[in-house]
Structure 1
Amino acid sequence: MTRPVVHKSEPVTLVGAGVFNADDLTLALKHAPSLVAADGGGNALVGHVQAPLAVIGDLDSLTNKARAAFSKVMHHVGEQDTTDFEKCLTRIAAPVILAVGFTGGRLDHTLSALNTMARHRDRPVILIGPDDISFLVPHSKITLDLPVATRLSLMPLADARVDTKGLRWEIRDTALHPVRAASISNETTAPQVDIHAMGPLLITLPQAALVAAITAVRAG
């Protein structure tokens, strides 16, 4: 079993090497003040007001400036069977990980992050982008407190049997699959939404719903 490099009782912010803006990082740190970088994500933190507690990965993407700045907190994981994102998820113990810099830029990196999340459903991760947030239904069910008319999309990452309550277009004990059926741009019709999913189901909400998502994921 992999021992944690970072162990926190509160949410942790994880920065990747993808494209993100300063506002996204500021938002994440507001709710998850402990900061960790995944390999090249450390480059964006050089000179940042807050230094990372750890830089985790194979460290092949770190600049010399980042290596000098974070030499005391670098944790080299040399094996090449996993991505830096996966290396971090298996070495951070926290109730929620807010991941910034994993959905912008290269599409293959975004798809890789979703693949990692689907294979590590026990790790509660919320991806933060400039407009949206995405996360998996934890432990087969989740209850979200959201304003009525909030946009909500459901995308299965593998076979998933789904049942919902509180959406405009309800899903009733239906089998969803990435290449067959999903629920994109659905909408809440009640202040509380219940979603049950047997299988990896990705929820996407507006970024403004981050607090509600953190609360629901932690409760799950």
Structure 2
Amino acid sequence: MIAPNVQHSQGVTLVGGGALGGRDLRLALARAPMAVAADSGADRLLAAGILPDAVIGDFDSISSETMRKLPADRLHPAPAQDRTDFVKALQRIKAPLVLAVGFTGARMDHGLAVMNGLVLLPNHRCIVIGPKDIAFAAPPELALRLCPDDPLSLFPMTRLEGSSEGLHWPLQGLEFAPDAMIGTSNKVARPEVRMSFNRPGMLTILPRKRLDAAIKALAAAPFWPESDGSAAHDR
């Protein structure tokens, strides 16, 4: 396990180099007050008038002007090229919650890489905030308070099974896989939704307006055991 460079008792807002509106940043920082940049996310933070508490990455896309403005003790190089800056940053953050902004944008490969990062580190409670939706890796069990008819999509990044209560289309009896059955465009049938999965690898996608419900649910959810091959993250 990689030793963390950044620790916070409440939460961390992780900023990427993609499109970032001021509303996104305010939304995240109000819930996760420490600002950390993944590489060129530092450019986005400085442009918003915020000095990052830490910058993690290989520094191949951050501007030279921003590098000159950053205190040396806030720079945490992670030069390995076998992982994205998103994953390298998550690996080096220890916090009960990470809200990731600036990671969704025009490039499809970048978006897929971020989704890969979520399931690669399923015990790092990270929620990616997009323009309309949020996404996070499902824990073994999850109880959500939502509204009937809310959309709830599930996308498997590996072969797995699950069960559910409170969804319009139950998960029981289905074998999910990225090249077979997926669970997009499901919807909420009752205010309390319960789901469980037999292994890590399921992405949960909710409307952006349900961010606080997702935060509350993840805070109460169990972690995947290390024996499942997931990268365990201490509470």
Residue by residue over 1:16-73, the C-alpha shift from the partner in whole angstroms, topping out at 9 and shown as x without a partner, is 1122322111111111111100001111111423321100000111102211222331
Distance in 1, matches of 2:11 and 2:65, equals 28
**Which residue in the other structure is 1:58 paired with?**
58
Is structure 2 residue 6 aligned with structure 1 residue 16?
no
Q: How is 1:1-220 mapped onto 2 (pairs within 5 angstroms)?
A: 1-72=1-72, 73-138=74-139, 140-199=140-199, 200-220=201-221
- Asked if 2 retains the 8 angstrom alpha-carbon contact of 1:20 and 1:130, the reply is no
Q: Structure 1 residue 215: deviation in Å?
A: 0.7
Measured on the aligned residues, the alpha-carbon RMSD in Å equals 1.2
Instruction: Give the stretch that moved more between structures: 177-186 or 43-52.
Output: 43-52
3-state SS of the aligned residue for 2:40?
Answer: helix
Distance in 1, matches of 2:9 and 2:46, equals 26
Detail structure 1 runs of 4+ shifted over 6 Å in the superposition. Answer: none
Instruction: Give the stretch that moved more between structures: 42-51 or 206-215.
Output: 42-51
3-state SS of the aligned residue for 2:29?
Answer: helix
Q: What is the aligned residue count?
A: 219
TM-score w.r.t. structure 2 length?
Answer: 0.89
Distance in 1, matches of 2:219 and 2:50, equals 25
Q: Structure 1 residue 188: deviation in Å?
A: 0.6
- Asked if 2 retains the 8 angstrom alpha-carbon contact of 1:46 and 1:69, the reply is no
Which runs of no fewer than 5 residues in structure 1 stay unpaired? none
Which runs of no fewer than 5 residues in structure 2 stay unpaired? 222-235
- Asked if 1 retains the 8 angstrom alpha-carbon contact of 2:22 and 2:48, the reply is no
